[in-house]
Structure formats: structure tokens, C-alpha cells
Amino acid sequence: MSTPEAFKEVPHRGLITVALMLATVMQALDTTIANVALPTMTGDLGASPDNINWVLTSYIVAAAIMTPVTGWLADRLGRKELFLTAVVGFTIFSMLCGLAWSLETMVFFRLMQGVFGAAIVPLSQTFLLDINPKERHGQAMAIWGAGIMLGPILGPTLGGWLTENFNWRWVFFINLPVGIAAFLGMAAYLPSVARRIRSFDFFGFAMISLGVGALQLMLDRGGEVDWFSSVEIWIELGLSLTGFWVFIIHTVTAEHPFIDPKIFLDRNFVTGLAFIFVMGVLILASMSLLPPMLATIFGYPTMTIGVVIGPRGIGTMISMLLVGRIMHKVDARVLVVIGFLLTAQSLHTMASFTPQMDNWLILSSGIIQGLGMGMVFVPLSTVA
């Protein structure tokens, strides 16, 4: 009886939802909005086509490393306090990204964006579930999912329009009013949650950070320094292997490890994680390479790049809505296989791109890839 009353006692639920979704959309947009601006940034920041990808990878790596820490930080600092800090930090470093004067400063500011942005998505989802009664959780998650999908849908087109009509720096400045509005709304109406203290495995966190960071550095620098002909690559490989190996041993032997090894006894979880990893590699590789290729080799204007890339998000949204309706009727394995086949077909089409091709080929391959993404991620996330 007490649980429904607790849900009803949350005032200003609509305003809280709007503020939460502003923060979520801001973070989701930032994962794709900068892609189409990379060719323009290359010249302004004095970077090479290879180095400019650090603008994307630094953000992704920082967010990936910091996401598992969100739960502990929320307990330690307070869920509301952490969320407000994340939004403020993300907004400030968005402004600094727009003011960046070199590749090094841009990479650092993007890395810090990822550090602060990592907490926004999981905490927004948690708060939406907290402020809604159980019978409205489905509706709340539909709203949240729509906000997440606005990133890949609007990001490329909006980024292209801002870059072409103003400057690539506005790709980051646009976050300022959104972040301020989200902060004010949450500071005023978001309910506070009691803090609780629990242990944190700093050593395990340091080792997994070393492994992931050194591996990413090796992959980014390899082509530039001729891979294993360079001592640098061997050092980075050694650091990465050492970090991962020590992390694995520590995880198995520690009393309270950073990641509970028992979760890997779940076969569905391990299988889903492996397939999501493969899909992530395929999608992120094509998403980071496509805008520079269309700009430098094919001569596409920035706005056109955004328009032809954006529809892949529409494909993802369509497939996510479809899969959500038919999952209880269709074997999840069938949906995953179809999703990977669609993704493979889209990548095969992309491999045949030529400067003489029609824009429809880029649009259609992106939509097909988006359909495949949704058919893979939704069932795997549910089953795992």
C-alpha cells in the first residue's frame, strides 16, 4: 500500500520529466552531432584525418569507463546531486569544446564531456522509473527511448546545418541553453534520494581504465606509427594486456571487485554482451569513417552529409518499436539473426560507394543499418 502512495506524492512530475528528457536528449545528441563537423574541425584545429577521430573516441572511451561508476557515485554523493553535477559539468565542457584552440584541448574537453555525460543516461532512466508508478513504467520508458533515439535522428542533420550556416563550434554551443534549462528544472523539482555508503574497488577500476585506455591509444596511433614496427605500439599493447590481466585476476580474487564475476555465469548475459560488442564495433566504425569520406573524397557539403546520414536513426526507431511489439511472439534469436543480416547487407552496400552514386544509396543503406541495429539491441538487451 505504501508504494503507490510514494509515487503519488511526487509533485511536478511533468516538469521533472521535461527536465530529465532535456538532459537525456542533450547527451544523446552529442554522440552524433559532432560527426559531420569532423572534416571542418580537421583544418581549424590543425589535425590530420586520422587524429581528428580522437574527438569521437575520447568521448566514447571516457563514457564507457565512467558508466559503471555511476551507481557508486550516486550512493556516495546522492542521486540528485550527482545528476546536477553531471549536467553542469557536461554543459561547461560543451562550451569549452566550442572554444577549443587545438586538437589537444579539444580531445581533453571531449574526454571530460564523456566523464560527466556518462551518468546522465542511466540516472535519467532511474529517475523516470522512480517518479512514475509501476503501471506507467512502460510509458515512461517509451518517452525515455524516444529521447535517446532523437540523437541519431537529429544529430547529423542538426550538426550539418549548424556547421554550414554558422560554425562547427555551434555544434557544442547549442548545448548551453539546453543544459541550463535542464539544470534549473531538476534543481527546483527533482526529489532527493537518501545517500548510502558502500565500498568501491578503486584498484579494479584503475586496472580496467589502464587496459581500455592503452588499447584505444594503440588502435588510434597504430596506423600513424606503422603499427608493430614502433616501440610505442608495443608499450601500449603491454600496458593494455597488463591492465586487463591484473583486472581479471583481481576480479576473481577480491572480496568486493569492481565487477561481480558471478554475472558472467549467466550464459544469456555473456552471449548478449558479445553480440552487442560486435555490433558496436561495426556501427561505430562506419559512423566515424563515413562523414570524412563523404566530405573529402566525395565532395559532399556538410549539410548534405547530415541529411543523408540522419535517416539511419529513423530505421533504428522503427525497428525498436516493431520489435517491442512482436518480441513475445517471435524467438529473440531469429530477430538477432535478421538484424545482423540487415547490418551485413548495409555494410556490403557501403563497400560499393562511389563518387558517382545517387544519394538514395546512402540513405537506403543507413536506414537498413538502423533497422538491423534495433533488431539486435532490443532483444539482446531484454534477454541479457
Select from 117, 120, 126 the least CA-distant residue to 191: 126
Higher pLDDT, 289 or 108: 108
Evaluated on CA atoms 340, 274, 285, 160, the torsion sign reads: positive
Helix (H, G, I), strand (E, B) or coil at 255: coil
Which pLDDT belongs to residue 91?
95
Which pLDDT belongs to residue 2?
42
Q: What is the pLDDT of residues 82-124, one digit of tens each?
A: 999 999 999 999 999 999 998 899 999 999 999 999 899 889 8
Which pLDDT belongs to residue 196?
73
- % the chain with pLDDT above 70: 92
Which of these ranges, 167-181, 194-208, 226-240, has the smallest mean pLDDT? 194-208
In the predicted model, what is the mean pLDDT of residues 259-284? Answer: 83
Which pLDDT belongs to residue 227?
86
Q: Is the pLDDT of residue 140 over 80?
A: no
Which pLDDT belongs to residue 162?
87
Which pLDDT belongs to residue 248?
92
Do 53 and 101 sit in the same domain of this protein? yes
Q: Is the pLDDT of residue 7 over 60?
A: no
Do 45 and 60 sit in the same domain of this protein? yes
Q: Which of 199, 228, 246 is the last residue of a domain?
A: 199
Q: What is the pLDDT of residues 49-73, one digit of tens each?
A: 777 878 887 888 888 788 878 888 8
Rounded to the nearest 5 degrees, what angle is found at the Cα of 66, between the Cα atoms of 60 and 69? 155
User: What is the distance of C-alpha 56 from the center of its chain?
Assistant: 10
Rounded to the nearest 5 degrees, what angle is found at the Cα of 90, between the Cα atoms of 42 and 144? 105
Do 18 and 105 sit in the same domain of this protein? yes
**Domains contained in the chain, number:** 3
In the predicted model, what is the mean pLDDT of residues 314-334? Answer: 80
Helix (H, G, I), strand (E, B) or coil at 104: helix
Q: How confident is the model at residue 173 (pLDDT cuts 50, 70, 90)?
A: very high
314 burial type by CB count under 10 A (0-12 exposed, 13-18 middle, 19+ buried): middle
State residue 58 phi and psi, 5-degree precision.
-60, -40
Q: Which three cell numbers stand for residue 111?
A: 574526454
* Domain carrying residue 280: 262-384
Do 33 and 181 sit in the same domain of this protein? yes
Instruction: Quote the CA–CA distance of 371 and 313 in Å, as a whole number.
Output: 9
Do 276 and 350 sit in the same domain of this protein? yes
Do 346 and 314 sit in the same domain of this protein? yes
Do 226 and 138 sit in the same domain of this protein? no
The DSSP letter of residue 229 is G
Residue 118's domain is classified under what CATH number? 1.20.1250.20
- Fill in the amino acid letter for 36: V
Strands in the chain per DSSP E: none
Do 100 and 31 sit in the same domain of this protein? yes
Indicate the average pLDDT of the chain: 83
Do 231 and 285 sit in the same domain of this protein? no
Q: Which three cell numbers stand for residue 68?
A: 559503471
Q: Which three cell numbers stand for residue 26?
A: 542533450
Q: Is the pLDDT of residue 383 over 70?
A: no
Instruction: Quote the CA–CA distance of 185 and 178 in Å, as a whole number.
Output: 11
Which pLDDT belongs to residue 146?
67
Which of these ranges, 50-54, 90-94, 182-186, 206-210, has the smallest mean pLDDT? 50-54
Which pLDDT belongs to residue 147?
72
Q: Is the pLDDT of residue 321 over 80?
A: no
Instruction: Quote the CA–CA distance of 375 and 17 in Å, as a whole number.
Output: 27
Q: Which three cell numbers stand for residue 353?
A: 560507394
Q: How confident is the model at residue 142 (pLDDT cuts 50, 70, 90)?
A: low
Is 372:346 a contact under the CB 8 Å cutoff? yes
Instruction: Quote the CA–CA distance of 135 and 132 in Å, as a whole number.
Output: 8
Which pLDDT belongs to residue 352?
85
Which pLDDT belongs to residue 4?
45
Q: Which of 237, 257, 277 is the last residue of a domain?
A: 257
Sequence-ordered list of residues with C-beta below 8 angstroms from that of 119, at least 6 positions apart, any chain = 66, 67, 70, 73, 74, 82, 83, 86
Q: Which of 219, 241, 257 is the last residue of a domain?
A: 257
Instruction: Quote the CA–CA distance of 233 and 215 in Å, as a whole number.
Output: 9
Which residue has cell 559539468?
89
Sequence-ordered list of residues with C-beta below 8 angstroms from that of 355, at least 6 positions apart, any chain = 297, 298, 299
Do 153 and 266 sit in the same domain of this protein? no
Do 248 and 267 sit in the same domain of this protein? no
Do 34 and 177 sit in the same domain of this protein? yes
